[in-house]
């Protein structure tokens, strides 16, 4: 008991009163309460959330500072290179910068010319106004471009997720309408819910589900399994066909498949007689749905 109390204090920062609430006093001494494990698990989840929150708060100022530094550095390096090229072109040593440098260069070479009409002056002015757009405008354009790239990437991701979810949905054997069109609509409506998340795709199909910028987790901050989530949602919304049932509600042969078969032998005979590849694919899908093959 002492070791458990020490763990609760050191690992979960519990007070003596909180630790004591995990036990009941009996004639035989202290006994661990039935809900003690659940209490510790909740404490563990709360502790992890606080740690994650603190890390995010500590990193945010640093990330903002890094972005500002990078933006300023790139702008400064480009302008310095242009000024260096001007000095080399006119063979002038000057520590002035920007428009002041142009003033010196032009006045040294063409005293009577209006400085603001000089080609180099105009070039620098355009560079300052064009390339060095205000940071706010730069961030706006950058954000719009990134949003476009993210939208394209998301479309590809969602297409992959929907197909994987469809396979899991069908493998779970939900009982759908016996009418093919209604069954297809039921499946389509079910799959729409998975467009409401973001995902990190995984080669093994264990995609990471992301909600509001964070991965979807259980109460102990463990990632929710994508296949298990799809299966659970299927079971929440549909009755499930029991193993051993042949055909049953929810499965009919697609129109035009010549798939009015009830046994594996009938299916194999019809399958090899069919010469249309597309119809053979539909026949196989129907046979699998019926549990014949």
pLDDT lower than 50: segments of the chain:
111-113, 246-259
pLDDT digits 0-9 by tens, 104-127? 666 665 544 455 666 766 766 666
pLDDT digits 0-9 by tens, 182-204? 999 999 999 999 999 999 999 99
Q: How many CB atoms lie within 10 A of CB 70?
A: 10
- Looking at residue 53, its pLDDT comes to 73
Q: Which long-range contacts (CB under 8 A, 24 or more apart) does 77-86 make?
A: 78/131, 78/132, 79/127, 79/128, 79/132, 82/124, 82/127, 86/120, 86/124
- Looking at residue 29, its pLDDT comes to 76
Could you tell me the end-to-end alpha-carbon distance of the chain, in angstroms, rounded to an integer? 57
- Looking at residue 60, its pLDDT comes to 61
Q: Specify the DSSP element, H or E, that contains 102.
A: helix 98-109
Burial 86-115 (b: 16+ CB within 10 A, else e): bbeeeeeeeeeeeeebbbbbbeeeeeeeee
- pTM score, whole prediction: 0.40
- Looking at residue 280, its pLDDT comes to 74
What tokens does 252 get?
Answer: 């009919």
- Looking at residue 112, its pLDDT comes to 41
Please name which of 108, 71, 111, 117 lies closest in space to residue 86, comparing C-alpha atoms. Answer: 108
């Amino acid at each position: 008991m002492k070791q458990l109390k020490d763990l609760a204090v050191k690992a979960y920062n519990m007070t003596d009163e909180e630790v004591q609430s995990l036990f009941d006093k009996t004639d035989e001494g202290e006994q661990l309460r039935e809900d003690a494990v659940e209490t510790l698990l909740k404490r563990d989840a709360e502790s992890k959330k606080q740690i994650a929150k603190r890390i995010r708060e500590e990193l945010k100022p640093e990330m903002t500072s890094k972005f500002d530094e990078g933006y300023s550095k790139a702008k400064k390096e480009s302008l310095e290179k242009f000024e260096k090229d001007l000095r080399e072109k006119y063979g002038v040593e000057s520590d002035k910068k920007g428009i002041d440098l142009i003033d010196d260069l032009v006045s040294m070479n063409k005293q009577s010319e209006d400085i603001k009409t000089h080609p180099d002056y105009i070039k620098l002015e355009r560079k300052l106004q064009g390339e060095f757009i205000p940071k706010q405008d730069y961030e706006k354009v950058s954000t719009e471009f990134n949003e476009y790239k993210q939208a394209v990437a998301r479309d590809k991701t969602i297409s992959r997720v929907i197909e994987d979810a469809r396979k899991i949905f069908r493998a779970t054997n939900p009982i759908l309408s016996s009418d093919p069109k209604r069954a297809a609509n039921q499946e389509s409506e079910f799959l729409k819910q998975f467009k409401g998340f973001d995902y990190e795709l995984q080669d093994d199909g264990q995609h990471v589900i992301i909600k509001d910028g964070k991965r979807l987790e259980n109460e102990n901050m463990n990632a929710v399994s994508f296949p298990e989530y799809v299966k659970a949602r299927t079971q929440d919304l549909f009755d499930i066909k029991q193993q051993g049932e042949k055909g049953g509600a929810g499965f009919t042969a697609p129109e035009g498949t010549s798939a009015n078969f009830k046994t594996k032998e009938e299916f194999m005979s019809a399958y090899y007689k069919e010469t249309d590849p597309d119809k053979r694919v539909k026949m196989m899908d129907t046979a699998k749905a019926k549990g014949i093959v």
